[in-house]
Structure 1
Amino acid sequence: MHILEIRPAPPGDGRTLARFDLQLVDGVRLYNLKLTEKPDGRRRVFAPSAFGCAAATFNNEIADQIVRAASAALGENNREQHQRAA
């Protein structure tokens, strides 16, 4: 599993932390996934919808792995932006 690109959410985008693109095994890629944070601090991942339904869903184990990968990538992205601004 590899985060291809992560885009921090702009201020005022509710509980959305970032949108990101993900490559799974065997070249399967998912685009524009959303990383959110619940009021209790837990993070969740959502796939975009198509025709009013989720385009993809994840079991708990895979969702946890995706959340960890996206959170790590978001932290790295924020660190790089902070270093550039300094």
Structure 2
Amino acid sequence: MQVLNLTPVARQGGGSVKIVATFDIELSNEVRLYGLRLLEATDGKRFAYAAQAGNRRSATFSRSLSEAITAAASFELEAATANDLSQSAA
């Protein structure tokens, strides 16, 4: 599994769940998903949400796969924002 093209979101929205990043993911050599969102609840818990086609999700994930996707995207987000913070501090 590899996170591709993760982009932190500057305008996160004003609801109880905020969008913190968008990303694509390669689940295997045969499967890639595009336009996923990494969301964060007010308690700090994050979760991945599949892209939508109209008002329906285009994919759903088992709990274990969702947790793995969320962990991978969170790791990439932390790496991306830590890099941004270290450059702005210099």
Aligned length: 86
| Letter paired with 2:70 | V
Q: Once the two structures are superposed, what CA deviation does each residue of 1:7-56 show, in whole Å capped at 9, x if it has no partner?
A: 00113434111001110112311111000111222111111111321101
- Give every structure 1 segment of 4 or more consecutive aligned residues whose post-TM-superposition deviation is greater than 6 Å: none
Mapped pair 1:2 → 2:2: yes
| Structure 1 segments unaligned to the other structure (5+ residues) | none
Give SS of 2:75's match.
helix
Q: Find the aligned partners of 1:78 and 1:51 in 2 and give their Cα distance.
A: 31
Q: What is the aligned-residue RMSD (CA, Å)?
A: 1.3
Task: Report how far residue 80 of structure 1 moved.
Answer: 1.5
Mapped pair 1:31 → 2:34: yes
Mapped pair 1:59 → 2:59: no
Per the alignment, residue 11 of structure 2 pairs with: 11
Give the alignment's TM-score, normalised by structure 1.
0.89
Q: Find the aligned partners of 1:75 and 1:37 in 2 and give their Cα distance.
A: 13
- Residue 50 of structure 2, aligned match among 41, 47, 54: 47
Give SS of 1:22's match.
strand
| Letter paired with 1:39 | T
| Structure 2 segments unaligned to the other structure (5+ residues) | none
- Residue 71 of structure 1, aligned match among 71, 74, 80: 74
Per the alignment, residue 85 of structure 2 pairs with: 82
State percent identity of aligned pairs. Answer: 34
CA shift in 2, pair 1:42/1:50, >3 Å? same
